[in-house]
Copies of this chain bind each other. A is one copy, B any other.
């Protein structure tokens, strides 16, 4: 099994390190990841700037992969088109510090990297831990569980290009209650900006840190995650709203 590992927290993030260690029992892992943190990068890509690339070695002086001065999706493109000696069988993105459920899926660089892999018709899995303050030991525990689930998914022999979003519950909820396969929550989030004035008198806004989804729809990634389950959500990149397409067509004919 040839595995490409990437993330959006940067190549030195503890979540990536923990996941790499567990994935090595499952296959050959090569990392191509952003040189620095790219949180909330969404599916941005770099067209107007060069992508500087550097080889990186781990603490045992083993080849880890490449650090890219770009976005998570840039990393996957570069890995598949330029860097990897052989095409990977599987692309894994994570483990992100913080959940990527509900509409946050669309802001997520972690998920975008997996979507980019699916563009190339590879099996791609995004993995996130629903904690902003997880310790390395908690990433290690979560990675053990996550890699078991990755193996289970791969064992079902998904079609080429299938795309999965995995979220693991916050460690403080205790032992993981089990695995649920559920749709993405689409309920609105609450969020706010802090309005401030800079030392030169200019107004600026800064996104507050107390956003959340106060009322997630039951039976979705967001709700099951808060109940302590690992949630798998299969995703697609065809965004067409076919119901609305039919409605609108009737009006335009």
Minimum distance in angstroms from A146 CB to a CB of chain B: 15
A39 touches B43 (CB 8 A): no
Minimum distance in angstroms from A199 CB to a CB of chain B: 12
Decide if A19 is an interface residue (CB 8 Å cutoff).
no
With beta carbons under 8 angstroms apart, the residue of B156, B163, B189 that contacts A241 is B163
Number of copies of this kind of chain in the complex: 2
Closest 9 CB pairs of A and B: A42-B43, A234-B244, A42-B42, A183-B240, A42-B44, A236-B241, A50-B204, A234-B241, A156-B251
Which of A22-30, A103-111, A134-142 is found at the contact surface with chain B?
A103-111
Give the interface size bracket for A toward B: 35 or more
- By DSSP majority rule, is chain A's interface helix, strand, loop, or mixed? mixed
Within 8 A of B (CB), among A160-185: 162-163, 179, 181-184
What are the interface flags for A189-218 relative to B under an 8 Å C-beta threshold, 1 for contact and 0 otherwise?
101110110100011111100000000000
Which of A9-17, A57-65, A87-95, A112-120 is found at the contact surface with chain B?
A112-120
Minimum distance in angstroms from A217 CB to a CB of chain B: 10
B248 touches A240 (CB 8 A): no
Knowing A44-B107, A50-B198 touch, does A77 contact B191 (C-beta < 8 A)? yes
A-B contact pairs, 24 of them (CB 8 A): A41-B42, A42-B112, A43-B106, A45-B107, A50-B198, A51-B204, A51-B205, A52-B204, A53-B204, A77-B191, A82-B193, A106-B237, A153-B248, A156-B247, A162-B241, A162-B244, A181-B245, A182-B245, A183-B240, A183-B242, A234-B244, A235-B239, A235-B241, A236-B239
B252 touches A119 (CB 8 A): no
Q: Which residue of B lies closest to A184 (CB)?
A: B240
| Distance, CA A107 to CA B237, complexed state (A) | 11
